[in-house]
Structure 1
Amino acid sequence: MLELRNVTAGYSRAAVLHDVSITVPPGQAVAVTGHNGAGKTTLLRAAVGLLPLKRGQVLLDGEDVSRLAPNRRVRRGVGYVPQGQLCFGQMTTLENLQLVDTSISAIEEVLETFPALRAVLGRRAGLLSGGQRQQLSMARTLLTRPRMLILDEPTEGIQPNVVAEIERVITELTRRGDLSVLLVEQHVGFALRTTDRYYVLESGRVTASGDGGDRAIDAVRDAMAV
């Protein structure tokens, strides 16, 4: 379980998040949505340790990890897929995966999750489509065997068929019960179809929250329109 408790964080002296509390229960997926500039990416950076807190706590399975460096949070089971489909462009898809784990069985497991990557294992990652790079970025993170997967705008700039594939993967991963997901996403339909609960951020504050699912789409859009 990941819990952000009364978190205030920002850059230099300016606070971007103000007293934000969010909980991701074990085996569930939670979406954070809101307009550009609402503080969504800042929230994730605070959760993974890339941004120090001004106030509040980050707890992982009940342990306060607020002062732990990002690599130590990774060792405790946090996996982070940042915005931008990051990869090592001059290396092949397979080499990108092998940077994390050279085990054939581990790589085979993530290829079963992202079968589209099989056809491009020998291709330089810089030549992949945006959707393929996003799948590669997620696959590489899953090789660390996280218990808490944090995704920043996974559908940004990718084609609809890959959006559907990522939706399938998130649903399957959480259905197994051994992985939780915290998802930042502006695509409201995608966010709510793949998650059990949502939070809406506006100007760095939680302005609405509730259960996920298609029935919540209108409520979230209304909250974001205010």
Structure 2
Amino acid sequence: MLEITGVVAGYDRSDVLHGVSVAVPDDGVATVLGHNGAGKSTLLRTAVGLLKPRSGRVLLDGEDITRLPAHRRVGRGMAYVPQGQQSFPQLTAMENLRLVADGRGDGRAALGEALDLFPALREIAGRRAGLLSGGQRQQLAIARALITRPRLLLLDEPTEGIQPSVVAEIQRTILELSARGGLSVLLVEQHVGFALKAAERYYVLEAGRVTSSGTGDEDAERAVRRALSV
């Protein structure tokens, strides 16, 4: 599905990623873990086309999309949910969703499916997004991305800073989506247990380099926690 190979990327004259290679399987989940400042968000921004790499390649279904702009990548089935529970604060939750749904021929059905995944959004549909809790805004952001029916969903710290009950709901939804098939996920996540439960493959970033990787088997959590303890 997605292959990032030997990517060097950064901001201004400073490199943040140093030859990073990550692969996301078809209909599967790959997770990226690491401490703050390791380059995880930079990796997602490079994958979705918001940041151009200085070198290396980004492949989607075997096609080189390294120089393709972000909107063209979205048109090919990418959806990106950045860190920070982003929404249009002056619009209601439902208006946020309809901004995406109204531009699609299957928008009504896609909107209904998103609400089925996050039923709590039905109860707050008429509330302004700016008045919602962080967990509610995060559910809203993921639901909005899913309305586009992506083939590849990129999630940046979807459970960061939100209450445990909503964390459990988001985790359940991501696991359900990955189990259905038809969707690949590149997940940046701090909750090691959940990240490895969801992922077929994990990568640990440290100072912009992959220092550990492997499959999400029963021995993975011990290896990841050991890598992150350094």
> What is the TM-score normalised by the length of structure 2?
0.96
**How many Å apart are 1:202 and its aligned residue?**
0.4
Tell me the equivalent position of 2:226. Answer: 222
Structure 2 distance, partners of 1:136, 1:70, is 21
- Alignment partner of 2:117 out of 110, 113, 117: 113
Kept in 1: contact 2:110–2:149 (CA 8 A): no
- Alignment partner of 1:128 out of 127, 132, 143: 132
Tell me the equivalent position of 2:81. Answer: 81
Structure 1 distance, partners of 2:194, 2:218, is 9
Tell me the equivalent position of 1:168. Answer: 172
Tell me the equivalent position of 2:52. Answer: 52
Tell me the equivalent position of 1:180. Answer: 184
Kept in 2: contact 1:101–1:143 (CA 8 A): yes
Structure 1 distance, partners of 2:20, 2:110, is 36
Amino-acid identity (%): 65
Kept in 2: contact 1:96–1:140 (CA 8 A): yes
SS at match of 2:113: helix
SS at match of 1:52: coil
**How many Å apart are 1:213 and its aligned residue?**
4.7
Tell me the equivalent position of 2:163. Answer: 159
Residue ranges of structure 2 left out of the alignment (5+ in a row): none
Structure 1 distance, partners of 2:94, 2:45, is 28
SS at match of 2:79: strand
Structure 1 distance, partners of 2:110, 2:78, is 18
Structure 2 distance, partners of 1:4, 1:35, is 20
Note closer, same or farther for the CA distance 1:17–1:118 as it changes in structure 2 (3 Å cut).
Answer: same
Structure 2 distance, partners of 1:78, 1:177, is 15
Q: Which amino acid in the other structure matches residue 218 of structure 1?
A: R
CA deviation string 1:8-31 (max 9, x = no partner): 101112111011110001011011
**How many Å apart are 1:189 and its aligned residue?**
1.6
Tell me the equivalent position of 1:2. Answer: 2
Residue ranges of structure 1 left out of the alignment (5+ in a row): none
SS at match of 2:211: strand
SS at match of 2:223: helix
Kept in 2: contact 1:194–1:213 (CA 8 A): no
CA deviation string 1:52-72 (max 9, x = no partner): 111000001111111011010
**How many Å apart are 1:186 and its aligned residue?**
1.7
SS at match of 2:21: strand
What is the number of residues matched between the two proteins?
226
Tell me the equivalent position of 1:201. Answer: 205
Kept in 1: contact 2:114–2:143 (CA 8 A): yes
**How many Å apart are 1:104 and its aligned residue?**
2.5
SS at match of 1:100: helix
* 1:137-152 alignment, distance < 5 Å: 137-152=141-156
Q: Which amino acid in the other structure matches residue 44 of structure 2?
A: L
Q: Which amino acid in the other structure matches residue 4 of structure 1?
A: I
Structure 1 distance, partners of 2:43, 2:35, is 14
